[in-house]
Amino acid sequence: MNASPSQPHPAEWPETRELLATEERGLPAGRHQYHKEHLMAQIHDDLRTTPGAPPAPARQRNPFLRRTILLPAAACAVAGAVVGGFALAGGDGGGKTPLATGPALTTQIGTADAKGAPELLHRISLASADASGPTVRDGEFIYIASKVASTYPKTVDDKTTVVSEKLHSRQVWQSPDGKDGWLIEPGQTGDKGMTLAGPHPISAAYNTLAKLPTDPDALLKKIYQDVRENADKEVPRDQAAFVAIGDLLTESYPPARLAPALYKAAAKIPGVVAVDDAVDATGRHGVAVARLNEADGQREEWIFDKKTMEFLGERTVQVKPDTDGLLKPGTVVFTSAITQRAVVDDNKQTPSQAG
């Protein structure tokens, strides 16, 4: 078993031809647009309990959708289903317990500095180049543990309020070829989790990422090409590219040589800014690399330790009022913090269980 430091090794890639050779998965390349679908899905599901309301269309949830777009338990119907090529059976057979919710998470909106972004990303790329990551071999599994929470609208008696989930743990295992894995997350799976095994590789499988170009210009060119062909057309091109890179930062473990290229490529995307203060899901303060999606007023923030430039987590913050008036500026739409990242010998094995 090869343990690793929790270093900025980039989460799942949005759907692309090669990076995500999985049309069945249905992953939107711009998950910010999907936030709106997330909100509307919850509203529709809540309306099912409202007398006289029309039935909402059934939704199926892919367990490997970005955590940002994992719907609350009440909005998911996955038992016995096969979604995106993954069999959602083989878990503990128990039902999902809905997560407790409370008032919407809020934060102070950090100051954005466009001029500071290139220097910050340069420092992060240098730090990632110095970090040594393990080689993931066939038969091993990438293990990633995190703390996460999402925000969504809840409707009771025709009154809709925005609530946030209780911060909770998430554990993911991924095989290097992307065809096997396991997920444990309260509210999304039973206590023992569920399999992610299937014939189609997961997003950002280690073996696939090993084939990506490490020249920043070539890498960014490929990202733009992929988002042009596969991204949600309502998401601006530059935002989709930024999200594509950001999706590699949380729940995957690409070869260490790829990380510097990702940060250097991000520095070339128009609209990327540095944020002076951002807080991850566990309360750790850091600096952030961010970009505002003008279409929905949400800012994606990648959070790094101010001294070591270690990747801490990410969050999505509502910076401008949304068109529906539900999400106020300062609302934290999604938050995460990486707590452990390692390579283990077996599926469902944690680093502490390794001999």
Strands of the chain, DSSP E: 2-3, 82-83, 86-87, 101-103, 112-113, 141-156, 159-165, 168-174, 181-184, 194-195, 273-279, 285-293, 298-304, 311-318, 332-344
71-80, 158-167, 257-266: the lowest-pLDDT one: 71-80
Question: Tens digits of per-residue pLDDT, 45-60?
Answer: 444 444 443 333 222 2
Question: Tens digits of per-residue pLDDT, 234-276?
Answer: 788 999 999 888 888 888 887 888 999 999 999 999 999 999 9
| Residue 62 clears pLDDT 60, i.e. is over it | no
Dihedral-angle region of residue 187 (phi above 0 means left; psi in -120 to 50 means alpha; beta otherwise): left
| Residue 343 clears pLDDT 60, i.e. is over it | yes
Average pLDDT for the chain = 76
DSSP-derived letter for residue 91 is S
53-67, 127-141, 268-282: the lowest-pLDDT one: 53-67
| Residue 95 clears pLDDT 80, i.e. is over it | no
pLDDT value of position 232: 73
| Residue 66 clears pLDDT 60, i.e. is over it | no
63-67, 155-159, 288-292: the lowest-pLDDT one: 63-67
